[in-house]
Structure 1
């Protein structure tokens, strides 16, 4: 086990404990000491997120695919929900943060990450293969979840604006959970062979020793709790950074999405370079589904309990980007083989998304 796998979670817990003692005066402020604290916080937070993903991967090797990828995705989703809830429901209300983060995840995953994986694999192997049936399941569920959570709120009549009424939001949340639950049943039990490539079948069951497995379970829990505890401190740094560079509100959503997706992105790119594009797809598209299927219901419940407004509907410009992403994804994964051109097309769409975040 690498030293960082237990050092960063320990540092995260100690850092939170230090900030909880007022007499120490440790925290983020607009001063030199505050900037030093912000730098330390970001390093520790990033390290803890990587540690959480490492321990999830250790456990995943023991349980095998596709359960391993599912565990990794759920761990990242817990981190994401904590960050969104803290930023959105804090002192400075950001009712669009959940929408912006979910949309950013879909764009980063379906265009940035998928494009990078296909391009990296194509440059090394010319073409790569994957299970068409499994990808079709991902895209089918993702299209429905993205539409009912990010598009439909713009066209309902019960409440004005891009929001659902309480009844509509409750129904959509339940429908989202049910659909994601049935997808998990399909992925892990009913049709798990749709999501397992030949490479994974060879290497997917490397066993960890009992002691390492128990330690990884414990440190995974500590890492997730530590990230949740530091989320409030992180929100202050994000707000200050956005104000300093004059970034639009969507900037916070992109930051949260990139933070939680960075470890998974590295794992997906590594799999693509090892000619295991199926695992890359499982990680990438699974992240999108988990983000919508778990994050939206969780944040909706928090917003309802705290009587906060939750804006979900995307502006028309972003709806066009979302529709183009879904259409191009269907064509990219329609043949079961990929090449560098498909990867470049997705990266161009991702570049347009980033441009429109800062130059709307």
Structure 2
């Protein structure tokens, strides 16, 4: 426990952990103070993300960057999964789909672009294992095609249209989960030598925690992030109206960025340490995991916990943005090398999407 207390004592950013009990208490005492809860939740998520960053780096020192990236992507997506389950229980299918699409786009464009930019500002050229990037990009492309399929048949006048759509969504969910399981077997067992991290010259002089403390910290902090994120999502709609933000912008941009703050902190830190293999594994691994695992699991769970089942039909604007983000990732990660300007280009595409949603929200989103 001493390394953890020392880290909190020496880092002014972690002093903001005081906002965690504050936001939990405020939510209990004044649940209608949406704007206050929104601000407190953001202030609480920031130090939790930093703490999760350090713990994940310590685990990665023992497991390697590939498994470390997978671990962080899984824990980061657990928060989004819990939030989405709560929304499913309330029948908020549009919110669930917006969070799925927004997380895929944010991870593949914003997170990856920021990693390339932050690492490129410190190192002239950075290299990473392009086999891992190609695998995640290919998985993301296949998943995006699967999510495109329900939208492709939406204009057909089919008898029993809802039943046909649900059957298709169920079949696609099974295929996506099978593809995700196969990718884990391929990358972590049968062909794991393809995904060995590059030998970087950057030095990481940070003191890492014992593996036991790191794992316990990961679990506890992930639970706290999930609790605070639920408060954030519950208050963000009303707070957004007070601040003049459109509902589409809130769901697709704000919720996705705040929900992924923990894994983003880890990816940014790794990029600054010239460990771009881990950054790419977190960014693209998280995006592909959401598309291949989180989305179909939520669709299946909706039959048990939701008032009505959810399908995998996204509104056209979301599908277009996911497809563009996926194709862009496939192009920029093909060489296995990066510089700061590549990150600028990815962030530019993300900024275009954000501006579009802020000014012209998609009014035809369907549940």
Same fold (TM over 0.5): yes
Counterpart selection for 1:26 from 22, 25, 29: 29
Cα distance in 1 for partners of 2:164, 2:200 equals: 42
| Alignment partner, residue 119 of structure 1 | 117
User: Are the structure 2 counterparts of residues 323 and 11 from structure 1 closer, same or farther at C-alpha, using a change threshold of 3 Å?
Assistant: closer
Structure 1 position 79 matched with structure 2 position 79: yes
| Alignment partner, residue 240 of structure 2 | 242
Deviates more, 1:130-139 or 1:163-172: 163-172
- Deviations 1:147-200 (CA, angstroms, capped at 9, x unpaired): 212x11112366648x97333222222211111111112222222233332237
Query: How far is the alpha carbon of 1:141 from its aligned partner?
Result: 0.8
| Alignment partner, residue 135 of structure 1 | 133
Q: Which runs of 5+ in 1 are unaligned?
A: none
| Alignment partner, residue 222 of structure 1 | 220
| Alignment partner, residue 284 of structure 1 | 283
CA RMSD in angstroms comes to 3.3
| Alignment partner, residue 100 of structure 1 | 98
Cα distance in 2 for partners of 1:71, 1:189 equals: 16
| Alignment partner, residue 175 of structure 2 | 175
| Alignment partner, residue 310 of structure 1 | 310
Please list, as runs of the form range in 1=range in 2, the aligned pairs for 1:180-219 lying within 5 A after superposition.
180-199=180-199, 212-219=210-217
| Alignment partner, residue 365 of structure 2 | none
Cα distance in 1 for partners of 2:207, 2:182 equals: 28
- Deviations 1:6-46 (CA, angstroms, capped at 9, x unpaired): 98889757865x579xxxx613224xxx6545443443344
User: Are the structure 2 counterparts of residues 229 and 328 from structure 1 closer, same or farther at C-alpha, using a change threshold of 3 Å?
Assistant: closer
SS of residue in 1 equivalent to 2:92 = coil
Question: Do 2:128 and 2:197's aligned partners in 1 also have CA atoms closer than 8 Å?
Answer: yes
Question: Do 2:150 and 2:168's aligned partners in 1 also have CA atoms closer than 8 Å?
Answer: no
- Deviations 1:322-341 (CA, angstroms, capped at 9, x unpaired): 33333332222223333344
Query: How far is the alpha carbon of 1:359 from its aligned partner?
Result: 1.6
Cα distance in 1 for partners of 2:246, 2:181 equals: 37
Q: Which runs of 5+ in 2 are unaligned?
A: 361-367
User: Are the structure 2 counterparts of residues 331 and 85 from structure 1 closer, same or farther at C-alpha, using a change threshold of 3 Å?
Assistant: same
User: Are the structure 2 counterparts of residues 193 and 13 from structure 1 closer, same or farther at C-alpha, using a change threshold of 3 Å?
Assistant: farther
Deviates more, 1:343-352 or 1:323-332: 323-332
**TM-score, normalised on structure 1?**
0.81
Question: Do 2:48 and 2:262's aligned partners in 1 also have CA atoms closer than 8 Å?
Answer: no
Question: Do 1:195 and 1:282's aligned partners in 2 also have CA atoms closer than 8 Å?
Answer: no
| Alignment partner, residue 3 of structure 1 | 8
User: Are the structure 2 counterparts of residues 260 and 208 from structure 1 closer, same or farther at C-alpha, using a change threshold of 3 Å?
Assistant: same
Query: How far is the alpha carbon of 1:203 from its aligned partner?
Result: 7.7
| Alignment partner, residue 363 of structure 2 | none
Cα distance in 2 for partners of 1:3, 1:246 equals: 34
Q: How many residues align?
A: 345
Cα distance in 2 for partners of 1:188, 1:69 equals: 12
**TM-score, normalised on structure 2?**
0.80
Cα distance in 1 for partners of 2:35, 2:250 equals: 20
Cα distance in 1 for partners of 2:98, 2:164 equals: 16
User: Are the structure 2 counterparts of residues 11 and 197 from structure 1 closer, same or farther at C-alpha, using a change threshold of 3 Å?
Assistant: same
User: Are the structure 2 counterparts of residues 87 and 198 from structure 1 closer, same or farther at C-alpha, using a change threshold of 3 Å?
Assistant: same
